[in-house]
Amino acid sequence: MKDKKIGFVGLGRMGGNMARCLNDKGYNVAEVYDLNADVARELAAEVGANASPSLTAVTAGADIILTVVTNDAAMHAIFFGEDNLFTDAGGKLFINCATLTPAVQEKLATAAKELGADCLEACMASSIPQARNGELFLMVGGEESVFNSVKPLLDDLSKNLHLVGPVGKASEVKALVNMVMNINTAALAEGLGIGQALGLDLGMLCDVFSQTGANSRVLETDSEDMIKRDHDCFFSAEHAAKDSGIALALAEAQGIKAPLAQATLAQFQKMVEMGLGELDKSGVAELTFKGRALD
């Protein structure tokens, strides 16, 4: 596997650190590309890669291409735009790591197959430190034979790895993961905001939460940031809104009502409307603590 040439498209917080991780583990990170050419040049110098001048060049210079872009529109652009990754793509493998709608993942896989290429979706339920250290939680969708062919590389990026079904199914699972996480985040912000208004010791309140039914993973990762107003971004409010929206669309298509998810989406959408979308999702506490953004 380490004799394969690896390409990366999208070198933000996650993509750039995944490239660094694979480089540290002896993979040949050969091509890197980002809309911000300076970012691509800096990472290329760091890992010994080529800062690809185009998406076509990424495909030409790599055997396996990992994409980590923002949303469906960005994904459509890099695969179906005038300059695109599907140019002369026969024999290539694309591993798409963004949180997208299942329909886009399925469209990509179908188009790749027609070109003699393969696609996997590898949805991530982790953050920046895990990307850098090869400790991602990956939900993979695709053909089992393709998954097995690249499993050593996926193992080196992750500490937990699940093949959940055909392409599209990993996006469904990831959307539900983030929907529940976002609900937990908004609920914690409300609980701490009410506790603040009551004059409770918030450290004590978090300790009680941690030993009762109020406990959650979000309590561990976000409570201190909510209290200290430290909202440096690991997972943005804007992305939280996008992912809750994907989950709600899936629910609607199945005739399922999801009022908690809808209320949570409204909170993160409010953050975006207020210009707070680039804050970490913990920034939803700005809407629930007295004396903060809404005041």
Q: What is the mean pLDDT of the chain?
A: 96
Using the predicted structure, report yes or no on whether residue 295 has a pLDDT greater than 90.
Answer: no
Q: What confidence tens digit (pLDDT) does each residue in 172-195 have? A: 999 999 999 999 999 999 999 999
pLDDT, residue 294, reads 74
pLDDT, residue 126, reads 83
Q: Residue 248 and residue 258: Cα distance in Å, rounded?
A: 7
pLDDT, residue 293, reads 82
Grade residue 238 by pLDDT with cuts at 50, 70 and 90.
very high
pLDDT > 90 fraction of the chain, expressed in percent and rounded? 95
pLDDT, residue 118, reads 97
Q: What confidence tens digit (pLDDT) does each residue in 242-257 have? A: 999 999 999 999 999 9
pLDDT, residue 106, reads 96
Grade residue 280 by pLDDT with cuts at 50, 70 and 90.
very high
- Place domain 172-287 in its CATH homologous superfamily: N-(1-d-carboxylethyl)-l-norvaline Dehydrogenase; domain 2 (1.10.1040.10)
What is the mean predicted confidence (pLDDT) over 253-268?
Answer: 98
Grade residue 1 by pLDDT with cuts at 50, 70 and 90.
confident
- Residues 241, 274: contact at Cβ < 8 Å? no
Model confidence, pTM: 0.90
Grade residue 101 by pLDDT with cuts at 50, 70 and 90.
very high
Higher pLDDT, 26 or 293: 26
Using the predicted structure, report yes or no on whether residue 130 has a pLDDT greater than 80.
Answer: yes
- DSSP conformation letters of the chain: -TTSEEEEE--STTHHHHHHHHHHTT-EEEEEE-SSHHHHHHHHHHHT-EE-SSHHHHHHH-SEEEE--SSHHHHHHHHHSSS-TTTT-TT-EEEE-S---HHHHHHHHHHHHHTT-EEEEEEE---HHHHHHT-EEEEEES-HHHHHHHHHHHHHHEEEEEEEESTTHHHHHHHHHHHHHHHHHHHHHHHHHHHHHTT--HHHHHHHHHTSTT--HHHHHHHHHHHHT----SSBHHHHHHHHHHHHHHHHHTT---HHHHHHHHHHHHHHHTT-TTSBGGGGGGGTSTTSTT-
Q: Where are the domains of the chain?
A: 5-167, 172-287
5-167 adopts what CATH topology? Rossmann fold (3.40.50)
What is the mean predicted confidence (pLDDT) over 213-222?
Answer: 96
